[in-house]
Structure 1
């Protein structure tokens, strides 16, 4: 069994594995009911094990559980919405034929919130692992630790959710799927129903990519601290500079169906090898 839990970044994967198309099933997880795991009608040529999905959009959870799934009040104390706690407890965490594994797609736009809009005093920073992304002229240079503190504040909600998942499923293999980076476009395309892209004064591409790289590193570290693995974006979907290649982009934030198919392939490989609850070392190396 593959469990999929998350927000907007689950959609490309669901699109890639749907037997009758994403639109035909979307109402099953996007409705006025409280979030719950539902069977997803999959194409067996795309995924060979059963799939259950739970949608955690804020507009889905708020009428039932309030605006927050989980809060971390100390390193070892987590408060959960009762409905979320019940949903987590209801999963079968035991290994089995093909393996039972949970893939989480928790938030994923934090780097955009931090880096999209140009600041009144334009900033930049050095990222040691990417010296090719040197700060641009005429911008205030901010120490990396300040950027890291900004990102940490943004991912606090995601970290609390991951801690809650591990607390309720202490032995189940769990992989948090790291969202893709932004596309290398100068025009912002946030997808339907969001801010007018013409009204956004955007930060330079290199600044946005560096924020993403800090975010991706910190969300992996947060997951690891919870005993949760991370699944990195497929290398085939990245361009040489590390942006999401146009042919795999649904908009400036999300992948498309082609991207979802690559992630689904990663997920299927993991699910096939997690019949025992210990995840093989080679898969951990792949997933960082």
Structure 2
């Protein structure tokens, strides 16, 4: 667990918990000297256990969360849309997003029903939603889930940053930007539905980090899947405003 430096007499540190998107927020806290405790599960191999195939937060994590008065900021998961569609699938597909039906379709792709695509996304999010449910059970105060950063449009810029070996079986081609945007928005809809059903607020990505079409602005690009510390600063300011 990462804890940024706290000045004497400062208020209790913010607490965020989750996976790789925690990193840019933790880096921002160091830069801005904001007290923050950041639990990044990629750096905590014993934090998540599995029982009968179901992920479970460790007792140590549970006790920490129960003692924390809130708010708690969740950055669980956040990569399912990238896993499914950052790269072109061997069975190339696309779909119409009902909320934005004008987004262009890939002319080379098979068009699938949106519910079929949603089902694929939900299957990739199962473990993360299970962990979020445990957060809600253990958290005694307000719970916010932080929307993952939007996709970056420029595939040429992204190409050098893609960890290609982590995507076995996928084509060596980045998916069209409108398709990636649709997947991200559908992913957010699933999160929003979960939050509404579980007394949790969805903290939307900072508006100033997005261009007019909804893609990540150049100044906040980190790599093909993550935002940078400047983006983390914006999220940290949002968190401070809710604490």
Q: TM-score when scaled to structure 1?
A: 0.71
Kindly state the Cα deviation for residue 246 of structure 1 after the two structures are TM-superposed. Answer: 1.1
Q: Please, which runs of 5 or more residues in structure 1 have no aligned partner?
A: 22-41, 73-78, 95-99, 272-288
- Alignment counterpart, residue 40 of structure 2, candidates 55, 61, 77: 55
2 CA distance for matches of 1:70 and 1:167? 20
The verdict on how the C-alpha distance between 1:222 and 1:241 changes in structure 2, with shifts beyond 3 A counting, is same
Matched, 1:10 2:22: yes
Kindly state the Cα deviation for residue 69 of structure 1 after the two structures are TM-superposed. Answer: 9.0
Give the number of equivalent residue pairs. Answer: 225
Name 1:33's counterpart in structure 2.
none
CA deviation vs aligned residue, 1:112-170 (integer Å, no higher than 9, x gap): 1111222233211111211220323242111111011011101111110011111122x
Matched, 1:168 2:134: no
Contact 1:13–1:264 under 8 Å retained in 2: yes
Kindly state the Cα deviation for residue 269 of structure 1 after the two structures are TM-superposed. Answer: 0.3
Kindly state the Cα deviation for residue 66 of structure 1 after the two structures are TM-superposed. Answer: 6.0
**Two-structure CA RMSD over aligned residues (Å):** 2.5
CA deviation vs aligned residue, 1:79-136 (integer Å, no higher than 9, x gap): 624xx23312223343xxxxx3111111111101111222233211111211220323
1 CA distance for matches of 2:177 and 2:51? 32
Kindly state the Cα deviation for residue 3 of structure 1 after the two structures are TM-superposed. Answer: 0.9
- Alignment counterpart, residue 63 of structure 2, candidates 80, 89, 92: 89
- Alignment counterpart, residue 213 of structure 1, candidates 176, 181, 185: 185
CA deviation vs aligned residue, 1:251-272 (integer Å, no higher than 9, x gap): 122111111111111100000x
Name 1:178's counterpart in structure 2.
147
2 CA distance for matches of 1:70 and 1:6? 22
- Alignment counterpart, residue 237 of structure 2, candidates 265, 268, 278: 265
2 CA distance for matches of 1:70 and 1:172? 29
1 CA distance for matches of 2:91 and 2:37? 46
Name 1:239's counterpart in structure 2.
211
2 CA distance for matches of 1:69 and 1:254? 30
- Alignment counterpart, residue 143 of structure 1, candidates 113, 124, 130: 113
3-state SS of the aligned residue for 1:210? helix
The verdict on how the C-alpha distance between 1:149 and 1:85 changes in structure 2, with shifts beyond 3 A counting, is same
Kindly state the Cα deviation for residue 242 of structure 1 after the two structures are TM-superposed. Answer: 0.6
Name 1:80's counterpart in structure 2.
56
Matched, 1:200 2:169: no
Q: Please, which runs of 5 or more residues in structure 2 have no aligned partner?
A: 1-11
Q: TM-score when scaled to structure 2?
A: 0.83
